Structure 1
Amino acid sequence: MSAIAVRFMPNDVTVTATAGEPMIEVARRAGVAIPTGCLMGSCHACEIELDDGTNLCACISGIPGDRPEITIHLFSDPVW
């Protein structure tokens, strides 16, 4: 399985991951905090945006394996 470079913005932190690895765990390993609430994808506290514009809940999503690198854009919600 190939390594995937995962870049978290706006932190500008890059870490290596494997396809299917949980996004929330990759972020933790990189020292990037993604807020969580329900951990089931219902509350959308952990919503992120991929570089292709796709919005996902990081708590229930894995790293896509269709490219060698990916950028994840984090949102800042003062309520969480």
Structure 2
Amino acid sequence: MTVQVRFLPNDVTVAAEVGEPLLQVADRAGLTIPTGCLMGSCYACEVELEDGETLRACISSVPPGRSEMTISLFVDPTW
């Protein structure tokens, strides 16, 4: 199943498959999500969904059950 993933503030949308890693989706969209540990414990890759839920992109993938999702990228200046 294809999900339309929209990245803010860049307003870039890319088609992704359910289960595709978020870091890979962002890379295909030409965007970089900062990473640190790649295990989710440092929170460098934290992104926010449209409903306010936060995810650690390095350990998250495109979820099932939706046709589109919006991800807000924010950067921690310490990374």
User: TM-score, with normalisation over the residues of structure 2?
Assistant: 0.96
CA RMSD of aligned residues (A): 0.7
Show the 5 A alignment for 1:18-37.
18-37=17-36
Q: Using the aligned pairs only, state the percent identity.
A: 63
Q: Aligned to 2:23, what secondary structure does the other structure show? A: helix
Q: Give CA-to-partner distance per residue, 1:15-40, whole Å, 9 cap, x none.
A: 00011110011001111110000000
Please list the CA deviations of residues 32-78 of structure 1 after superposition, one character each: whole Å capped at 9, or x if unmatched: 11000000000000000111211110000011111100000111211
- Stretches of structure 1 lacking an aligned partner (at least 5 in a row): none
Question: For structure 2, which runs of at least 5 residues remain unmatched after alignment?
Answer: none
The list of structure 1 runs, each at least 4 consecutive aligned residues, that deviate by more than 2 angstroms after superposition, is none
Alignment size in residue pairs: 79
Note the 1:10-25 alignment, pairs <5 A.
Answer: 10-25=9-24
> Secondary structure of the equivalent of 1:79?
coil
